[in-house]
């Protein structure tokens, strides 16, 4: 097993994964723990359980029940990281409303639904970045990885609020990369194709609409799984990508070519 990454002073390097309780987020948490980070899982449901699973597997992790749109939730957990003597290295902005959304004609989307999706999917990562940036900068920098989607690149129909929110995540990645570059903070994104996550498998409508279309559109004709995304996040969080920022890596089996 990889040993825990530490600073020169022996302080554990921590990475936060939002929405890390299940599915794709849990896969990221698992991979970053394998990479040697202390993993902080943030989720509205199941964060502690997800972290306990990693600890049970021999890794270093802690879970916090927190909402990414609430400033006080961020303040509480970041304070805890500082008090615990850990050094924050990175943030994966993965939490979003997606798997539970119903397919809708664009005329049916209400203002409340639009605002709710935008709040979690765009304000959540923005607020998280605002909150972690001073801690990252205090240690000379760090890495932020935003989880976007290929849906805004392709113009997928049936979820206009979601698709627009993920387009905004790509735009946010670019502007915040420039805002934060001189503090040593890199901001990149990963854009997954349709992925059979735990949440998606609970939503039959999504599976029926996208599974076969997704598979057939790929150069690599098979289902996309959460594990397929782990390597890209690990790479963007690590030093091998030290001179990359503002980029969006498409990981979709070769359906959309940038
Ligand atoms: N599954 C796919 O096909 C697919 C494709 C492209 C992009 N993505 C993106 O990948 C990420 C993960 O997708 P998934 O399929 O695992 O989704 P999911 O819905 O199963 O998981 C999202 C997680 O975020 C948490 N969450 C939601 N709102 C939150 C909030 N306000 N604060 C904290 N946590 C919150 C949920 O509890 C859940 O654990 C999302 O950003 C999604 O948009 C997924």
Task: Read off the pLDDT of residues 225-236 as tens digits, 9 standing for 90 and up.
Answer: 999 999 999 999
Question: In this predicted structure, what is the pLDDT of residue 258?
Answer: 87
Q: Does the Cβ of 213 fall within 6 Å of ligand 1?
A: no
Residue 76 Cα to ligand 1 midpoint, Å, equals 22
- Whether the pLDDT of residue 2 is over 90: the answer is no
Average pLDDT rounded to a whole number, residues 173-191: 98
**Which segments of the chain does DSSP mark as H helices, in order?**
23-34, 47-56, 71-83, 111-118, 124-138, 151-154, 160-180, 198-201, 204-217, 227-237
Q: Does the Cβ of 195 fall within 6 Å of ligand 1?
A: yes
Average pLDDT, the chain: 97
Report which of residues 19 and 258 the model is more confident about.
19
Q: Does the Cβ of 153 fall within 6 Å of ligand 1?
A: no
Residue 94 Cα to ligand 1 midpoint, Å, equals 6
Average pLDDT rounded to a whole number, residues 102-121: 96
- Whether the pLDDT of residue 244 is over 70: the answer is yes
Task: Read off the pLDDT of residues 130-152 as tens digits, 9 standing for 90 and up.
Answer: 999 999 999 999 999 999 999 99
List 64, 123, 162, 256, catalytic entry: 162
Task: Read off the pLDDT of residues 62-97 as tens digits, 9 standing for 90 and up.
Answer: 999 999 999 999 999 999 999 999 999 999 999 999
- Whether the pLDDT of residue 52 is over 90: the answer is yes
Q: What is the CATH number of domain 13-251?
A: 3.40.50.720
Adjacent-strand bridge partners of 6: 12
CA distances from 11 to 16, 84, 87, 256 (A): 16, 9, 6, 41
Instruction: Tell me the domain boundaries of the chain.
Output: 13-251
- Whether the pLDDT of residue 126 is over 90: the answer is yes
Q: Does the Cβ of 252 fall within 6 Å of ligand 1?
A: no
Question: In this predicted structure, what is the pLDDT of residue 209?
Answer: 87
Q: Does the Cβ of 197 fall within 6 Å of ligand 1?
A: yes
Q: Does the Cβ of 43 fall within 6 Å of ligand 1?
A: yes
Q: How far is CA 253 from the centre of its chain?
A: 19
Average pLDDT rounded to a whole number, residues 23-35: 98
**What percentage of residues in the chain have a pLDDT greater than 70?**
100
> Best of 17, 28, 63, 95 to mutate for ligand 1, by most ligand atoms within 8 A of CB?
95
Question: In this predicted structure, what is the pLDDT of residue 61?
Answer: 98
Question: In this predicted structure, what is the pLDDT of residue 207?
Answer: 93
- Whether the pLDDT of residue 54 is over 90: the answer is yes
Altogether, the residues listed in the chain come to a count of 258
Number of helices (H), then strands (E), belonging to the chain: the values are 10, 7
> Best of 197, 203, 249 to mutate for ligand 1, by most ligand atoms within 8 A of CB?
197
Distance (Å, whole) CA 156 – CA 177: 26
Residue 256 appears among annotated catalytic residues = no
């Amino acid at each position: 097993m990889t040993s825990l990454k530490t600073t020169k002073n022996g302080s554990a390097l921590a990475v936060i994964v939002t929405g890390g309780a299940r599915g794709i987020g849990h896969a990221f948490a698992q991979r970053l723990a394998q990479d040697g980070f202390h993993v902080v899982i943030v989720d509205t449901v199941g964060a502690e359980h997800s972290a306990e699973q990693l600890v049970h597997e021999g890794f270093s992790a802690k879970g916090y029940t927190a909402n990414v749109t609430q400033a006080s939730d961020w303040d509480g957990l970041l304070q805890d990281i500082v008090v615990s003597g850990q050094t924050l290295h990175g943030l994966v902005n993965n939490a979003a409303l997606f798997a539970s959304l119903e397919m809708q004609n664009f005329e049916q989307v209400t203002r409340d639904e639009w605002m709710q999706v935008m709040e979690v999917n765009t304000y959540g990562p923005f607020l998280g970045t605002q909150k972690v940036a001073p801690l990252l900068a205090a240690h000379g920098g760090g890495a932020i990885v935003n989880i976007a989607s290929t849906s805004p690149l392709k113009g997928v129909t049936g979820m206009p609020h979601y698709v627009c929110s993920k387009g905004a995540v790509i735009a946010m990645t670019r502007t915040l990369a420039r805002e934060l570059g001189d503090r040593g903070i890199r901001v990149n994104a990963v854009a997954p194709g349709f992925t059979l996550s735990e949440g998606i498998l609970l939503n039959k409508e999504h599976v029926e609409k996208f599974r076969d279309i997704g598979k057939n559109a790929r150069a690599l004709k098979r289902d996309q799984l959460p594990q397929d995304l782990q390597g890209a996040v690990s790479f963007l969080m690590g030093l091998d990508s030290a001179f990359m920022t503002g980029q969006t890596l498409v990981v979709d089996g070769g359906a959309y070519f940038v």
